[in-house]
Structure 1
Amino acid sequence: MHDIVFIRQNPGAFDAGLARRGLEPAADAILALDARRREAQTTLQTMQNRRNEASKAIGQAMGQGDKDKAEALKAEVADIKAQMPQWEEQDRQTGEELEATLATLPNLPASDVPDGADEDDNVEVSRWGTPRKFDFTPKEHADLGPALGMDFETGAKLSGARFTFLRGDMARLHRALAQFMLDTHTRANGYTECNPPVLVNDDAMYGTDKLPKFSEDSFRTTDDRWLIPTSEVSLTASVAGQILPDLAQPIRMTAHTLCFRSEAGAAGRDTRGFIRQHQFEKVELVSICAPQDSEAEHERMVRCAEGILEALDLPYRKLLLCTGDMGFGARKTYDLEVWLPGQDAYREISSCSNTGDFQARRMNARYRPEGSKKTEFVHTLNGSGLAVGRTLVAVLENYQQADGSVIVPSMLAPYMGGIERLEPQ
């Protein structure tokens, strides 16, 4: 949600930020609604004050025996009461229109975010690792996986397209990756492990900017709950409506959960394989921090995600997303793309975003700085640390052997019970 005070004071800067997002100016329309609402609120306050004064004066007039004055005051109070509903309705209506308008506008990009129309304009920041040279033609995971326990046919039979049934050592490797990520983030990176609900209400989805704009991208239950598209929703919304004590240190949370996405806007993309599923698992990273700490916290979060890829010896590149490719709630986003030799391409495996106070305003999450009587909105950040299924894909393609087997990365040995490679069955 946007700060209406900022828009009042900086309408040009607000429209300039929207323009960088490819949107038309909106400040004039917003300020017109804001003016009508403030007019209603000011009028109501004036009327309430006068009603109270007149009501008090009625008693005084009656006590003095001045019935004519008392009757005149009663008529005035009655007239005020008769007029108030129309101003209350204007306050309610304009308030709802204003909130609805603001709720559909994306976050403004940070000053160092590059301008651009789409993913082709993202800026590569760095690369890590050297892609392995194969003495055979490497396969894509969709061709390699079925003999190793990645059962696409059964998944489709049970649930339809974009569902997969993992079996045997493949399922164990998937679990091992998630456990390795969680252990690293909690033991080495200072995140607190959480196990949040995967069903949430409208408020949680709205507060994390998933509603109303992206309702079609998520699954809704018959009792009006939502299956989370990411545990960012549950973790971030856990501080909704709170006034936190001084955030001398950021609150850092991580969770490994199921995630669900309808992929409404991805028709025809990645229909083969395990890249884009309706149901998948992700280890999420969320930070709640003071505004002055959010930029450093963003860089730290990205490094935590990078550390998982480096530990697994998976080559990757880091991108700074342009204004046209950045998510709705983000003010700045880094993507990590892992090298997939079967596709001969880098593919997204993590996205880490700083949303500033955009989500905090929607969910009314604040903190009280030390020594201050006033509260401020927190800053929220979220990132994948990592998408488990896509990491499994990267391991399969990068560690594949000519005979169709896949070597298990050595750092996963404690989680694999002595299994050193996946063998074709």
Structure 2
Amino acid sequence: MHDLKALRADPAAFDAALERRGLSPVGQKIVSEDEERRAALAALQEAQATRKTLAKEIGQGKRTGADTSALEAQAVELRDRITGLEERAAIIEKSIDDVLASLPNQLDSSVPDGKSEDENVVVHYRGEKREFTFEPKQHFELGEALGLMDFPTAAKLSGTRFVVLRGALARLERALGQFMLDTHTTEFGYSETSVPLLVNDAAMYGTDKLPKFAEDSFRTEDGRWLIPTAEVPLTASVMGDILSADALPIRLTALSQCFRSEAGSAGRDVRGMLRQHQFTKCELVSIVKPEDSDAEHERMTQAAETILERLGITFRRILLCAGDTGFGAAKTFDLEAWIPGQQAWREISSCSNTRAFQARRMKARYRSENGPAFVNTLNGSGLAVGRTMIAVMETYQNEDGSITIPEVLRSYMGGLTRIG
């Protein structure tokens, strides 16, 4: 959510920020509506004060036996006027709130201009692409040949974009998640958290998933939502709170199932595990003071990079341009892993600083020296487990179709060194 006070102070700057995202200006329109709302509220206060005076005069007249019919008629007119002003102010306020809720976060000044992912900026590369003496296969070819990745059974049970993992691949998925959790909790100070997989409208709205992304999520018949990421319950855990300054930073992590309808991805990545309706992800969330959010963003991204480095996965860090930065983010780093079977870079983590955008929607504050102030919230994947498994399978595949287990995972795999 945006700061209406700041918008009123400089609507041109607000519109310039929207223009960076390719959006039309709305600042002056909002300011005009807000002036109308404030005028209605001023008239409402005046009418309420007049009604209060009238009530005293009517009471006094009745006590003395005077004719108060004219005053009572005036009071009725005032009552109707007050009702009308209240309704008008409420309608305008809802109109302003609806517009502000539909507008994306303002971009950080360091975000490069650009209209699409083609204009994202590579920050750095880590690792070397493996050179194969054979034609590398894609993960689903490897998994199906091993008999451990079953898409037909998943389709029979649930439809497309689901998978059944068996045996060593099911254990590999679990091992990756445990390795991520252990690293983030023991080395980077994140507190492991088990979260509900169903949340209410307030949690989804507060973390900027509603109303814009309603069609991308699954909703139950009783009005709750399957979480698209553990970012939602982790971040919303401070919804409505006023935190002690000493409590910050708060760093939380959760390994959870995530659910997405993939409404806009028809025909994309239909083979394999890359784009699923249900997947596992290790989420990182930080809640910090505003002056600490830039450093926290770098810290979070490095934590995610550490997982890839220790797995021996070649990756690059990308700074997203204006046109590719997500709705709630002020700035985003993506980590893209090199997938040998596809001969392509694929996003495996996205780490975003939302600044106070989510905090305003959630009314999440802390006690600063100058009184209650909005916290800054950050979120990132540390990592997406399914996509990490794809990278591991394709990077560590052997010519005979077997898969070597990265050394860092072998203790999680009961000492197993190879799947095949």
Distance in 2 between residues matched to 1:67 and 1:303, nearest whole Å: 81
Moved more, 309-318 or 72-81: 72-81
In the alignment, residue 32 of structure 1 is paired with which amino acid? S
TM-score when scaled to structure 2? 0.96
For residues 361-384 of structure 1, what are the alpha-carbon distances to aligned partners after superposition, in whole Å with 9 as ceiling and x for unaligned?
A: 111111111x44x21111111000
TM-score when scaled to structure 1? 0.95
Q: 109, 113, 116: which one pairs with 1:115?
A: 113
1:393 counterpart = 2:406: no
Which residue number corresponds to residue 48 of structure 1?
A: 48
Distance in 1 between residues matched to 2:202 and 2:117, nearest whole Å: 31
Distance in 2 between residues matched to 1:187 and 1:129, nearest whole Å: 24
In the alignment, residue 180 of structure 1 is paired with which amino acid? F
Distance in 2 between residues matched to 1:217 and 1:74, nearest whole Å: 56
Q: How does 1:1-400 map to 2 (within 5 A)?
A: 1-60=1-60, 65=64, 67=66, 73-148=71-146, 149-247=148-246, 249-369=248-368, 371-372=369-370, 374-400=371-397
- How much does 1:175 deviate? 0.1
Structure 2 alignment gaps of length 5 or more: none
- How much does 1:303 deviate? 0.5
Retained in 1: the 8 A contact 2:248–2:287?
no
In the alignment, residue 146 of structure 1 is paired with which amino acid? E
In the alignment, residue 390 of structure 2 is paired with which amino acid? V
Which residue number corresponds to residue 408 of structure 1?
A: 405
Retained in 2: the 8 A contact 1:247–1:367?
no
CA RMSD of aligned residues (A): 1.5
For residues 296-347 of structure 1, what are the alpha-carbon distances to aligned partners after superposition, in whole Å with 9 as ceiling and x for unaligned?
A: 1111110110011011111100000001111111110000001111111211
Structure 1 alignment gaps of length 5 or more: none
- How much does 1:35 deviate? 1.7
- How much does 1:261 deviate? 0.6
Retained in 1: the 8 A contact 2:293–2:376?
yes
SS in 2 for 1:362: helix
SS in 1 for 2:412: helix
In the alignment, residue 131 of structure 1 is paired with which amino acid? K
Distance in 2 between residues matched to 1:380 and 1:46, nearest whole Å: 41
Distance in 2 between residues matched to 1:403 and 1:204, nearest whole Å: 48
Retained in 1: the 8 A contact 2:181–2:255?
yes
SS in 2 for 1:305: helix
- How much does 1:75 deviate? 4.1
Distance in 1 between residues matched to 2:298 and 2:246, nearest whole Å: 18
Retained in 1: the 8 A contact 2:285–2:378?
yes
SS in 1 for 2:345: strand
Retained in 2: the 8 A contact 1:247–1:290?
no
- How much does 1:72 deviate? 5.2
- How much does 1:77 deviate? 3.0
SS in 1 for 2:411: helix
In the alignment, residue 377 of structure 2 is paired with which amino acid? T
Retained in 2: the 8 A contact 1:315–1:339?
yes
Structure 1 residues 13 and 247, CA, compared in 2 at 3 Å: closer, same or farther? farther
Distance in 1 between residues matched to 2:219 and 2:46, nearest whole Å: 45
Identity %: 58
- How much does 1:192 deviate? 0.6
- How much does 1:59 deviate? 4.3
Distance in 1 between residues matched to 2:74 and 2:293, nearest whole Å: 55
In the alignment, residue 86 of structure 2 is paired with which amino acid? E
Count of residues in Structure 1 that have an aligned counterpart in Structure 2: 419
SS in 2 for 1:230: coil
